[in-house]
Amino acid sequence: MKRVVECVPNFSEGRRRGIIDQVVGALASVEGVRVLDVQSDADHNRSVVTMVGEPEAVEDAAFRGIERAARLIDMDQHRGEHPRMGATDVVPFVPIAGVTMAGCVEMARRLGERVGRELSIPIYLYEEAATRPERRNLADVRRGEYEGLKVEIETDPHRTPDFGPARMGKAGATAIGARSPLIAFNVYLDTDDVAIAKAIARAVRHSSGGLRYVKALGLLVEGRAQVSMNLTDYRQTPIHRVVEMIRKEAARYGVAIVSGEMVGLIPNEALVDVARFYLQLDGFSPDQILENRLAE
């Protein structure tokens, strides 16, 4: 089976096309790496790149992207709405096929060590690669952002990086980690009452007592109440369980689901899991999928 890792580095430049192109060019220059998507946001002043390939190639591409961004982006000049602490702000590795989470954690640590040593950029390992529980959550790692961390990194021992120097240059600091594929999934309701979407979001999301790997918000989108979600581990909390819970909660308000919406890319396995649930396929094996046999 072919080994495939996804990597979604976030760079602190979303306005100057020339700089974005150079950073993306550095990623794409590595043989065997494919850049699937580049989302640049001017308000956030940030670009999110999705690339895939064999582990070694993706790890090398991430290094080159970090190196290039460090040369081109000056965090002392950076302004944007999105929280950030470095020219390359965050680098998550995501196991897709033939690679384990443990393998992605190893990649994160090896890359972190190399970036710290060769580029003198402070590195914090996060999520599955975190070395301490309080560094699992990216928001905690990035607290104070570039400006705050610049001071604290030299004075507060709790903020000493995992790799690299305990002082920041103009490239700031970078969080490197490993996580499960993230699914951005929205559900539209047949009501314009956003209060219902908010109540359902509270019911299904982890932070207020709901499902372990669900983040959710209630929004009003083009006149319709929407439950907007990030499913952060579809293997542990599968999509169908989330949808059926929303269906039940919505029915309690006399409301139905009008449609579902996948934003961006989704692993095929997550959709196959949905089919297996509704068709009650107990003994089904992924080997029975024709395309999987072709890919062998």
- Region 79-118 residues binding its own copies, contact defined as CB under 8 A: 96-97
DSSP element (H, E) containing 89: strand 88-97
Task: Check residue 288 for interaction with its own copies (CB under 8 A).
Answer: yes
| Closer residue to its own copies in complex, CB, 15/34 | 34
Chain position carrying tokens 């590795």: 93
Residues 26-55: x where in contact with its own copies by CB under 8 A, - otherwise, as a string = --------x-x---------------x---
Q: How many CB atoms lie within 10 A of CB 76?
A: 10
Task: Check residue 265 for interaction with its own copies (CB under 8 A).
Answer: yes
| Closer residue to its own copies in complex, CB, 139/294 | 294
Considering the candidates 44, 78, 82, 240, report the single residue annotated as catalytic.
Answer: 82
How far apart, in whole angstroms, are the C-alpha atoms of residue 9 and residue 225? 32
Residues near 140 by beta carbon (within 8 Å), at least 6 away in sequence: 134
- Taking CB under 8 A as the binding criterion, the range among 81-89, 123-131, 189-197, 261-269 that sits at the site for its own copies is 261-269
How far apart, in whole angstroms, are the C-alpha atoms of residue 50 and residue 58? 11
Minimum distance from CB of 163 to its own copies (Å)? 30
- Taking CB under 8 A as the binding criterion, the range among 14-22, 58-66, 128-136, 259-267 that sits at the site for its own copies is 259-267
Dihedral of the CA atoms 124, 129, 133, 136 (nearest 10)?
70
268-279 burial: b if 16+ Cβ within 10 Å, else e = ebbeebbebeee
Dihedral of the CA atoms 154, 160, 163, 164 (nearest 10)?
0
Minimum distance from CB of 225 to its own copies (Å)? 15
Task: Out of 3, 4, 38, 64, name the contact with its own copies by CB under 8 A.
Answer: 4
- Region 225-244 residues binding its own copies, contact defined as CB under 8 A: 239-240, 243
206 catalytic residue (yes or no): no
- Region 156-195 residues binding its own copies, contact defined as CB under 8 A: 181
205 and 227 in contact (C-beta within 8 Å)?
no
Minimum distance from CB of 239 to its own copies (Å)? 6
Beta strands 183-189 and 88-97 are unpaired
- DSSP designation for 224: E
Q: Which residues are catalytic?
A: 82
The residues binding its own copies (CB under 8 A) are 4, 6, 34, 36, 52, 96-97, 181, 239-240, 243, 257-262, 264-268, 271-272, 274-276, 278-284, 288-295
